[in-house]
Amino acid sequence: MVNECKLEDKNIREQIKYLAAMQGITMLKLKEEVNNKYNKHDSIRNLGNKLRNKTIRVSELVEISDILGYDIYLHKRLV
């Protein structure tokens, strides 16, 4: 199981799909769980578009991370 994942904007969609698959859930199930827990009504298509177009909000990423069992940290890069 993946314990860390560095999200990169060039492939965030694939990374989210991979993390969901590692948890044994589909993107559809992931979105359903987000909708249920956070009282939302967004569609899987809407999520797919946001990931593909790189327009997902940080708050939505936090919700997805919560469902997948991850926390989000900002880490200062070493130069």
Question: CA 52, CA 46: separation in Å to the nearest integer?
Answer: 10
Question: CA 16, CA 2: separation in Å to the nearest integer?
Answer: 12
pLDDT at 7: 80
Crossing angle of helices 12-22 and 58-68, rounded to 10°: 20
Of 17, 9, 7, 8, the residue nearest 48 (C-alpha): 17
pLDDT at position 1 over 60: no
Pair of tokens at residue 67: 């469902």
pLDDT at 79: 82
Question: CA 12, CA 52: separation in Å to the nearest integer?
Answer: 8
The predicted model gives 10-30 an average pLDDT of 92
State the pTM of this model: 0.87
pLDDT at 2: 61
User: Confidence band (pLDDT; 50, 70, 90) for 66?
Assistant: very high
Give the mean pLDDT of the chain.
91
